[in-house]
Structure 1
Amino acid sequence: MEIRKIRSGETGNIWRLFHDTVHRINQIDYSTNELAVWAPDEYDEPRWVSRFIRTRPLVAMDGKFLLGFAELGDDGRIDLFYVHHAHQGEGVGRALMQRMKAEAASRGLPRLYCEASITARPFFERMGFVFLEQRELERRGEQVSVMLMEYKF
């Protein structure tokens, strides 16, 4: 497995992994309406390309196959962190998180934080994150529950 920065032309594959993983994995904890507003079926390519030019996510690759991806903000915020639904539990998330922690430490960040899904909370706890509070986010008129979590260096 190789972990590297996103390359040109990979945005569509990343969006597809995001969309499919949300709809297949998070259906355990979220309603159909919540999933639909969280990860809509319509791919807005200009929006995603613009986002990834700005955020430059890390991607985990097995040859040409995308296993997962993650974004690390300048302030330590992890916005998107997803592992392909068929490859969860194989160490992909752990490898991405180790790389993000190393990058954050090299930048001198005091912490990492995220608004994790209910489904992802156990993963983040295994990675050393602490649950701070539950929040309700509004997404296109629908309330979606997330867990504010933090990792301090």
Structure 2
Amino acid sequence: MSIRPFRVADALALREVFASSVHGLACRDYTPAQCRAWAPVLDAKAQHAWCEAMARRQPFVVEVGGVIAAYADLQDDGLIDHFFVAAPYAGQGIGRRLLGHLQAEATARGLPRVYADVSLCAEALFAHLGFEVEARRLVLLRDETFANARMAWPVPALAHGEGRP
């Protein structure tokens, strides 16, 4: 397993990871209608918009044996906007290693905190790595309502220079 920066050529493969994660993993906690609203089939225009959005997000990409298995981003304000592991790779520690990579990246950048709007199926992973629920939320997307949690992780103070002589 390796974690690397995003390449433009990755964009549509990341869409496949996203769809696999939603339809193959999140389906345990959300209805089929919710999953279709969350990860609908994309036409050519929507695929182009997806590719542009991935280029803006600049996610980290996980490869296993040369295959893209997961991805996640870390924005300048500490937001993890996307965090997805393809269903066939679930339960192998990939999500844990990817989230740990984001935490190390946040520390290196000197961010005060990292936060995300976490799906029900990912909440236990985030909690295991020190994230705490700040708020329970209901989000409306394409006429479907989703429960999720705003979770945050305070970057340790010593990581961004406080408390040093």
Q: Which residue of 2 aligns with 1:101?
A: 103
Of 60, 73, 76 in structure 2, the residue corresponding to residue 74 of structure 1 is 76
Q: Which residue of 1 aligns with 2:18?
A: 18
- After superposition, the CA RMSD in angstroms is 1.2
Q: Which residue of 1 aligns with 2:114?
A: 112
Distance in 2 (CA, whole Å) between partners of 1:16 and 1:27 is 15
Following TM superposition, by how much is the alpha carbon of 1:73 offset from its aligned partner in structure 2, in angstroms? 1.0
> How high is the TM-score relative to the length of structure 2?
0.88
Q: Which residue of 1 aligns with 2:124?
A: 122
The answer to which structure has the higher strand fraction is 1
**What is the aligned residue count?**
153
Alignment deviations for residues 1-37 of structure 1 (CA, whole Å, 9 cap, x no partner) = 1101111211111101101110111111111111111
Q: Which residue of 2 aligns with 1:58?
A: 60
The one-letter code of the counterpart of 1:56 is Q
Q: Which residue of 2 aligns with 1:151?
A: 153
Q: Which residue of 2 aligns with 1:30?
A: 30
What SS does the corresponding residue of 1:134 show, helix, strand or coil?
strand
Q: Provide structure 2 residue ranges, at least 5 long, that are not aligned to the other structure.
A: 156-165
Mean CA deviation greater in 41-50 or 118-127? 41-50
Q: Which residue of 1 aligns with 2:87?
A: 85
Distance in 1 (CA, whole Å) between partners of 2:66 and 2:144 is 36
1:49 and 2:46 matched? no
The one-letter code of the counterpart of 2:16 is R
Alignment deviations for residues 35-86 of structure 1 (CA, whole Å, 9 cap, x no partner) = 1111112252211111111110000112320111001111101111011211
Following TM superposition, by how much is the alpha carbon of 1:95 offset from its aligned partner in structure 2, in angstroms? 1.5
What SS does the corresponding residue of 1:74 show, helix, strand or coil?
coil
The one-letter code of the counterpart of 1:47 is A
- Are 2:18 and 2:84, in contact at CA under 8 Å, matched by a contact in 1? yes
Q: Provide structure 1 residue ranges, at least 5 long, that are not aligned to the other structure.
A: none
Q: Which residue of 1 aligns with 2:158?
A: none
Distance in 2 (CA, whole Å) between partners of 1:31 and 1:91 is 26
The one-letter code of the counterpart of 2:36 is A
Distance in 2 (CA, whole Å) between partners of 1:87 and 1:142 is 27
The one-letter code of the counterpart of 2:81 is D
The one-letter code of the counterpart of 2:100 is Q
